[in-house]
Structure 1
């Protein structure tokens, strides 16, 4: 179990003090359920890990791509975190949520002029510049506005994190950032320092996601600090901010053993301090951008089981009323999850089944080898754990399925955070054929 999940006296799974069968009855399924107390606890763990290092200047920015809604952004601001956005839509959501613009950082490898204009209009805290095209466009736009903006340069340190290739982002072949090894970053720093309307604060890297070891962070920091020393010496660069991104691993299954948060933070801070001593540089502010590690384990998706298919000697399937439309990660990069039968949580789990989604794709399998009670079947409630990151945010309308509702639970109370879509919502933007000018 994760967070405040437990088996109650009815033999049902309870989250945040609320019986999951009651949640399913009130809000329907599929249903994303977030244990907000666990989110707050995770935030406190990161804060405590930093506070152990006296005199350190640090910031935590929530990577909102993991899960972005108005209520979630408001929770983040309530917890005194900054915010990382990667699109105009995420920025718009943040502003509508009332997030202070100066506490927002804008990422992304292909920001449009409209998105940059939105960021400049709002006067956000910083833009993390990803490429030369953006560097030139941003300076041009700021010059026309007579406006200055703080920037960090995203660099690619050439570090390959031990994770799935689709979520590695620090290797030399990555689509993100200025490569350290081939001179791109050197040219970018020089160009940014010469740009009158860009205030270069520091550098940023993100080596990947779901990382269970510390060596990647340490290696990336050593490379960045080596180059920061060279830029300080040759270009009069002053490293104010070292942003090492996120990627801290979480527990999806009982086999996962992520490091303690303080282990990651100690490695990051101590390595940066060692390199500053080596190169006689002032210790920069350390910024991180956790997303998955704040919300992943706090989320559980509830499904209602339906049809089953038993292929004797091969596999037994149990289908649910959702699937890759609300959690594409298993189909996209073979992500693994753990599930239980929520309304029979106290029953022995002794039967291997494949939990199949309802989408018209053979690859729509949420869990290939789940272990559930033998009597779990149609009408029962299936809970899939650790779906808080990249479930809702990557949901689609494939097969014209509506997006599920989102519920926040804490201290025995459940509150709707996102309403379930309706069929009317699905066709709201559709235009009938008779109204298309090309057919008139």
Structure 2
């Protein structure tokens, strides 16, 4: 079987997509063929039918056109794309596109993928009296099996420190800049993994009928990791969450005072004590662990021992910023360490998460190519305007 081309994408929702386009000739060129009903209908519009998956209806957005443009296609408008929902199939109909067959076929396939379909099928697509077919293979696995290098870099504590120093001393970055970009990446990753309209109440419970913003508890430490947490809280507020910050020890530096003031001006509340697990689980949908970063060295400071003990008892999903607090940056967790549901690595993943099995995002899109080359960093490539990459 000769394919015209094989196209491969990684979507922002973490799906790997491979589409193979091939020509197929049908005996009835003026009719649309339905692979489920085995019937034909006259005067067809360009139509693609996806079968073999549970479909979640969702409006088609500009991400599809962006992905196509990345593959050197012409600019595509999605305004004429309409979808109708079936029990086991999705029919995508388009009119007045004026595109060549592979473009429209790929566009419709991506639309179906964005609706959550899965499986594999040969999909006929009608264009007046010209017919084509697409063989598409859809996978709900993380992008990342395709886009992520098999030998992806995991930094040691020393490497992470040296890269940070060079960003400041050799490349002219400021701590304010990197903290803002890191915190925004953390908030963005949370919004992708736990959308505000899909989490509500305690323990990340799903309740799409409730209009109230999901409550997020940010546990911020005294260093730069805590600063990332404060920035993330501000962006989470903009993204539709209701953050509250546990900030037991604020540094005296003006930067941290400014970050706190920004949050307070946005009516983000602060607390000086960490509630017990029962209260947290009842009142918060998520917990953000921003206590310690890659500079942490055991043992845990006495004033934070009880904090980590409480975190270990939470049933509410924990999202750790860069390095789960209390973990050895290179060796990983101990038996009594916290077990985050998600980690957002910054700059590059650290050695401690090399065998981590939970949700994992990479953020911190600010490493210059020359610095990445110097340290021989093997990292996935960010797509378009994305600030984070889902690693698993």
TM superposition score normalised by structure 2 = 0.30
Whose helix proportion is higher, 1 or 2?
A: 1
TM-score normalised by structure 1 residue count: 0.27
